[in-house]
Amino acid sequence: MSTTTPVRPAPEDAHEAPPSAGGRRGPGGAVGGGLFDPGQLLRSLPDALRKLDPRVMVKSPVMFVVEVGSVVTTGLAIADPGDWFGWVITAWLWLTVLFANLAEAVAEGRGKAQADTLRRARTDAVARRLTGGAEGGSGTGSGSGAAPGDGAEETVAGTELRVGDLVVCEAGDIVPGDGDVVEGVASVDESAITGESAPVVRESGGDRSAVTGGTKVLSDRIVVRITTRPGETFIDRMISLVEGAARQKTPNEIALNILLASLTVIFLMAVVTLQPFAVYAGAEQSLVVLAALLVCLIPTTIGALLSAIGIAGMDRLVQRNVLATSGRAVEAAGDVSTLLLDKTGTITLGNRRAAAFVPVRGATAAETADAAQLSSLADETPEGRSVVVLAKEEYGLRERHQGELEHAEWVPFTAQTRMSGVDLDGVKVRKGAAGSVIAWVTERGGTVAEDARALAEEIAEAGGTPLLVAREDADGARVLGVIHLKDVVKDGMRERFTELRGMGIRTVMITGDNPLTAKAIAQEAGVDDFLAEATPEDKMALIKREQSGGRLVAMTGDGTNDAPALAQADVGVAMNTGTSAAKEAGNMVDLDSDPTKLIEIVEIGKQLLITRGALTTFSIANDVAKYFAIIPAMFAVAYPGLDTLNIMRLASPESAILSAVIFNALVIVALVPLALRGVRYRPSSADRLLRRNLAVYGLGGLVAPFVGIKLIDLLITLIPGVG
């Protein structure tokens, strides 16, 4: 319902937009550097060297085995200084470990760069704590019935604040801690958090009440109830998370680690038992060769990149201003099969717009448009503005000058009358709910066209909002027509939902509208289902029903009433503008407060899973090819028939083994950009993704070693004394 009471527009409508596609902005405006930024590599090198600590390496069984092999070959090389082959193998084994650590360190370093930006934003602010009505720290906020803003003030350090304290913030003040606005409205600079330079509005009593410690109040006065203890603020948690300190291995990552460890043990047993057979055949192998064989056969490629893939997945979210509280949430996003999306602001633009003026019998569209425009001139809501614009564009009606409206008496909208309008020069115009306007006309003995109610119901069934327009003049009161307000579906939403459907994801629109309106919007947007007149209990019931069928559910929310559903959902994305309860309940926070970003989050989660699967496939296929390089070279002297397996026609046993070890190290470096950037995601079904992975990364993993090892062998043969 439009109103005629001027409303101060919310600045965030204009600027709280998601980052542009492909943007690299993160918290605090941090921008990710290139994948091989020399400065980043140099800063990451000390971390990579520190990770050589066996206590750190043991967390990755595959690379721990490589490190042990490097130590063994180092000892053997020292014992036989003249063995060039042992020294070269040792050097490349250590490089293999270092490259693996460097991949992880670079991924972590990108997060640390963002954390440094956040640290600069964190300040030890001085707080103006209320001591009268607040009963400092009681958590009740207003003590014995006093208003939140009542009471004396005392100046304390921000570190002394406790949960429940009330603090006053005015223009120029730094918000001393996370909290909710309980009194007033103010413009706040949140650029330290979101990277957006334009201010946002925070006010009490709504879903835009949360403020973050370290942000700056630019205007007016607000009273904030503190909701977190010092050291546990949102910025503190962000710093911890983007640095990777709080990143725990996800269930899928743990399962893959167990698989890799099992393969490592199997190949270790195979290599250990290989030596007795070699001795029996008269082709005893050195420990250096056996170590090289083991390193080349175990899945070192995915073992080296596994951690970097997980860190990079969270980093991609941070670059889009989404903070995930755990890697588990990112993975869950990739496995989501049901998306719950709010209608307003997510599927639709959120501001209803005038779409048409529909006259009743006996009236004209021009009459209806003229009356509708006149009654909306003082209406500063988006709906009211759209009525004025539509009348001007469609019917050429100009806006009245201030002089023409000098004697106008504006009638504001109230919940009781459910109407608004204007009295001007003996003419009264009203617009509002159908029942209210018809009652107003009837009270004045006016005429109501027979089709007035039918037109209103027809618009409602089509998903619109009908506002009747009536006019009273010397000829009496009568209904002129209906304004059709339409909640406009965002461009491209139907296509996005079609893509999600192709990925096997079911979309459900949640709205407080009546079922008729909800059904019309759902059909226009192309969602699979809808939940009308939704209550918090209805949302919870829907989520539990979906989960009972084995499906993972994702949803967005910003209000306290969304908190239970956000906590129940497998992926709960809370808006940063929302209440503290919503942000605590969800496992992700969108700093841009853009509900449509949930679709991007799902795509990032799927990209993480696809990247991990693709590189695992590539790594295992690699090992098969390296087998054909090393095994024939080891036993060709004892069993000349094995030379037929030397399909790459490698120059010598030493060259074959050395080429395989060098390739094994270099392929890790070559795949680091892919691990950090992620495999490009294309919406498709699971079986199509599997076929693509096998065709591209499985076949590529088989072919690449044959080509790479042969090229390295050719280069080695050019070195005097080696070929």
Interatomic CA distance for residues 708 and 299, integer angstroms: 17
Burial 32-63 (b: 16+ CB within 10 A, else e): beebebeebeeebbebbeebeeeeebeebbbb
- Report the C-alpha gap between 408 and 469 in whole angstroms: 18
CA–CA separation, 158 and 609 (whole Å): 42
Give me 343's structure tokens.
């209608």
> What sign does the dihedral 489-21-188-314 (CA atoms) show?
positive
Per-residue burial over 317-354, b = 16 or more CB atoms within 10 Å of its CB, e = otherwise: bbbbbbbbbbbbbbbbbbbbbbbbbbbbbbbbbbbbbb
Specify whether the CB–CB gap between 106 and 157 falls below 8 A. no
In 3D space, the residue among 320, 384, 269 whose CA is nearest the CA of residue 18 turns out to be 320
Exactly one of 165, 178, 342, 487 is catalytic; name it. Answer: 342
Measure the CA–CA gap between 88 and 74, rounded to whole angstroms. 10
Q: Is 562 annotated as a binding residue?
A: yes
Sheet holding 571-575, edge to edge: 322-324, 588-590, 571-575, 553-557, 338-342, 506-510, 529-531
Does residue 124 have an active-site annotation? no
Residue 68's closest CA among 46, 97, 88?
A: 97
Instruction: With beta carbons less than 8 A apart as the criterion, state whether 44 and 112 touch.
Output: no
DSSP states of 447-476: B--TTHHHHHHHHHHTT-EEEEEEEEETTE
Q: Contact at 8 Å (CB) between 636 and 67? A: no
431 among annotated binding-site residues: yes
Residue 417 labelled as part of a binding site: yes
Amino acid at 381: T
According to DSSP, the β-strands at 529-531 and 506-510 are parallel
Which tokens belong to 226? 């503190």
Q: List, in sequence order, the alpha helices (H) in 80-233.
A: 84-121, 191-194
Is 420 labeled as ligand-binding? yes
Rounded Cα distance between 707 and 702, Å, is 10
379 is an annotated ligand-binding site residue: yes
**Rounded Cα gap, residues 167 and 223, in angstroms:** 6
SS3 412: coil
Tell whether residue 415 is among the known ligand binding residues.
yes
Determine the Cα angle at 437 with ends 431 and 441, to 5°: 120
Evaluate whether 332 touches 598 at the Cβ level (below 8 Å): no
Q: Annotated binding site, which residues?
A: 379, 383, 413-420, 431, 558, 562
Give me the active site residues, please. 342
Q: Annotated binding site for ATP, which residues?
A: 379, 383, 413-420, 431
Q: Annotated binding site for Mg(2+), which residues?
A: 558, 562
